[in-house]
Chains A and B, each alone.
Chain A
Amino acid sequence: MSEDPYVDPAALLEAVPFCRYLGITVAKSGDGLLLTMPFAPHLVGNPMLPALHGGVTGSLLETAAVMQVAYETGGKNLPTPVDITVDYLRSARAATSYARARIARQGRRVVNVQAEM
C-alpha cells in the first residue's frame, strides 16, 4: 500500500467488515469526524418500539471513538479498546443515527475518549 490509510477515514472504515454490515459511514466535520448510520431492519433490537439494539448503539459509539483516535494520532494500526462504558439515555429509534467523539485525554499508551450518539 503506497498511502497511509489514515489519510482517508472513509477508506479506513470501509475496510472494516462489521462497520460495512452496520452501514456506518464517516465524514470529516469540523475538528473531528461525524459517523452516520442509516436505519436498517437488521439493526433492530426491540421490534415493538422499534428501537436499535443496544449492541448496535455500543458498536457505533466504539467505532466513533476508535476512528477519532486513529484520525488524530495517525497511527498505523487501529487502536484497541481497553474498556468501554455505555450510558443509555434513551432508546435509539428507527432513524438515521449520528455519532462523534472527542479525545478527553491522550496519554502515551492509553487514550480516554468520549463519544456521543
Chain B
Amino acid sequence: MDTPPPWLAIAQEQMGLTAFIAGIGGVFEQAWPVARARLPYSEKLVGNPQTGVVHGGVITAMLDHTSGLAVMAKLRAFTPIATLDLRIDYMRPAKPHQDIVSECECLRVAHEVAFVRGVAHQGDASDPIALSTAAFMLLQNAIFPGAT
C-alpha cells in the first residue's frame, strides 16, 4: 500500500495507551512506513540487578507491540489482531541507561495471518539488540473474541 490507512493515527494512539506499554514507558513514534516505538531506560525494567541490563521480556513486549502496529499499517480496514507466534533472537545485551528503539515492518498480509519482522536497537539499527519474527492472526471473522 502506498499510503497509510486514514485511521492509522487513531490506532497508533490507542496502541500507545495500552496499559502495559504505557506502564513501562513505551512511546510510539510512527506507524508507517515502518512502525517505530521508543522505550526510555528505567530501573523497574531491569532483569539483571548485577549488570542493570533490562529484562528480555521488555524487549519481547516492545517488539510484539510494535509488530502489531506494523500490521495495522498494512490493513485496508481496521481489524483486531492477536499474536500467533513470536521469535526473538537476542544479539547482545541492551546497554543500561539508553533508550531501546523497536522498528517493525509487516512483510505480508494473507487472508487470516500477517507476517512481521522487526529489530530492536539503541540508535544504530546496524548494531541490533534483538531481531524478531512474528505472525499475527487477523480476527475480522472472530465470532468469539474471548476464545482467541
Contact = CB atoms under 8 A, between A and B. Distances in A.
Interface of A: 15-22, 41-49, 52-56, 58-60, 62-63, 77-78, 80-88, 90-91, 93
Interface in B15-37: 18-21, 23-24
Contacts of A22: 57
A48 B61 contact: no
Interface residues of B, number: 39
B23 A42 contact: yes
B90 A83 contact: yes
Given A18-B54, A53-B19, A53-B65, 10 more contacts: A16-B55, A17-B44, A18-B55, A19-B55, A43-B20, A47-B19, A58-B86, A78-B50, A85-B86, A91-B82
Interface string B63-98: 011000000000000001011111111100100000
A78 B19 CA distance: 29
Given A16-B46, A18-B44, A86 B85 contact: yes
A78 B48 contact: yes
What 3 A-B pairs are tightest by C-beta distance, nearest first?
A: A55-B61, A59-B57, A18-B55
Interface of B: 18-21, 23-24, 43-50, 54-58, 60-62, 64-65, 80, 82-90, 93, 145-148
| Among A16, A44, A80, residue most surrounded by chain B Cβ atoms (within 10 Å) | A80
A93 B147 CA distance: 10
A83 B54 contact: no
A83 B87 CA distance: 7
13 contacts: A17-B44, A17-B49, A41-B19, A42-B23, A44-B18, A47-B19, A54-B60, A55-B65, A59-B56, A59-B61, A62-B55, A78-B50, A83-B88
